[in-house]
Structure 1
């Protein structure tokens, strides 16, 4: 089968190559991939990839072989999946606890956007706690996670201030429920009960300064790739007794199927609307990765496999 493998070349980070079709473990189903999405963090991992490792965590397609242990969906089913690797391929083995069925009302393009970004948004807001009536500051809001967080938090009653680089990116966030759009953390007024910070560098101390007393700042990313320096005496300038915590979407529960199913249901009900900034054939993956890395894509980028993908014998 064909799969995308890392090259170590920044100009063309992946190329199509022939690899062996995966052999599923007893708790894994085999999925014929129709579409996959790429994430900005994956572009950074390709800089220092482990030899033999194949990227790809967000897939949508057709389950062509059920798990041998009887877990997960059965028969031929449309699914989304979140394997830890190997998803940028014609076929991928996915643990059944990281699979969810996809109804006909949700397209493969929509489904492919949901796993990593959707799980991060859903679990991040659970970590933040009740947001009804609370002021929330969200940095790095123009990516896939930011769009999902904005829509989910606004629907739950939060007053969301989203930080984006420009007005074009902020327009869609306003449609999704953001109460205010700013283009620099320094322009956010505050104070905020909750800060969801994904940029790092100079943004984090600026965001902390806008946190309310006894508020919570949750750090869940380092998009700037710049180290953070904090002066803890700054707490006395406003956010006394505030909490700073780190978040990773897998730190609480590595079973993903129920949350994936919840994301699918919300999408089918038009309560969650994936923002897809680009759809391309997977032959254009290298270009898409570079554009995503350089922030030339708003929301999610989805790659589709050609119709010539061979059927399994």
Structure 2
């Protein structure tokens, strides 16, 4: 089969290759014929989970089940599904554990579904970790990205007063329609906030922590800036605040939460915000668009 593999000497570190078809090894694993994939920042910036030349990267896939899980735990052959794992997704066929897949509603296309596994689950889990947010001020940084745009919608759906922080006014386009009550460039005048879903890292993470009201929480989801963070926790303590920062990694399995966001999308209650669509043969152009911050939301590629 055809797959995208890690190749350090390639222009964007990836290239196409012919590789053996995957074979399910466990009774709860199913095989899908992949129809679409999506790109995540960590994959294209750092080649996450592709350490050796020839490794197949890729977290998110959507396709059709061609071999059901032998233990009966997953959907039957012919079912349209989306799913995630930390590698092996950028290929014409993929093995996934049944607990990490969800059925795609009839009204959702493969590209939209492929945009939702990691980004959608991350948005759901990070908002839930803030606790009840009804009527509370919630700041989402990096709100123009794939996870950020989903988090804005889900936090607003949960009743929060959502403040969307973006890098430029242009990057904030459309966020009001998704549920952001405020769209800001920089954090001046934002305090106080009950919680923060933080995607940028570096100085932004430190500044966001300083905006918390007493008892507030920052969920540190990502570090798109690539910069370290310095926080004077003693100063925060002396200010009399009992606040916390939680580092975020998605909790697995993810099938239930993925089904939730797919169902919302199928009912027209969540917009996956696929801001870039193309065929996977144009992978390098898609990577450049994502790294250059020219994609509003997610980039999804059709597999051929």
Query: Do they fold alike, i.e. is TM over 0.5?
Result: yes
- How big is the shift at 1:49? 3.5
8 A Cα contact 2:138 2:160, kept in partner: yes
RMSD: 1.6
- Asked if residue 222 in structure 1 is aligned to residue 223 in structure 2, the reply is yes
In the other structure, the counterpart of 2:148 is 146
In the other structure, the counterpart of 1:124 is 126
Greater CA drift, 224-233 or 1-10:
1-10
Distance (whole Å) between structure 2 residues aligned to residue 239 and residue 296 of structure 1: 42
Query: TM-score by structure 2 length?
Result: 0.95
8 A Cα contact 1:214 1:239, kept in partner: no
1:273 counterpart (268, 271, 292): 271
Q: Could you list the runs of 5+ residues in structure 2 that have no partner in the other structure?
A: none
- How big is the shift at 1:47? 7.7
8 A Cα contact 2:49 2:87, kept in partner: no
8 A Cα contact 2:32 2:63, kept in partner: yes
The SS at the match of 2:288 is helix
In the other structure, the counterpart of 1:34 is 35
8 A Cα contact 1:113 1:302, kept in partner: yes
| Aligned pairs (5 A) from 1:46-195 | 46=47, 49-51=50-52, 52-185=54-187, 187-195=188-196
Greater CA drift, 280-289 or 15-24:
280-289
Q: Cα gap change, 1:177/1:47 in structure 2, threshold over 3 Å: closer, same or farther? A: closer
Q: Cα gap change, 1:48/1:131 in structure 2, threshold over 3 Å: closer, same or farther? A: closer
Q: Could you list the runs of 5+ residues in structure 1 that have no partner in the other structure?
A: 307-313
- How big is the shift at 1:239? 6.6
Distance (whole Å) between structure 2 residues aligned to residue 237 and residue 280 of structure 1: 52
8 A Cα contact 1:11 1:290, kept in partner: no
Distance (whole Å) between structure 1 residues aligned to residue 98 and residue 216 of structure 2: 38
- How big is the shift at 1:16? 0.9
Q: How many residues align?
A: 302
In the other structure, the counterpart of 2:292 is 294
Distance (whole Å) between structure 1 residues aligned to residue 179 and residue 185 of structure 2: 17
- How big is the shift at 1:169? 2.0
Distance (whole Å) between structure 2 residues aligned to residue 189 and residue 47 of structure 1: 34
- Asked if residue 22 in structure 1 is aligned to residue 45 in structure 2, the reply is no
- Asked if residue 284 in structure 1 is aligned to residue 268 in structure 2, the reply is no
Distance (whole Å) between structure 2 residues aligned to residue 27 and residue 71 of structure 1: 6
Query: TM-score by structure 1 length?
Result: 0.92
The SS at the match of 1:70 is coil
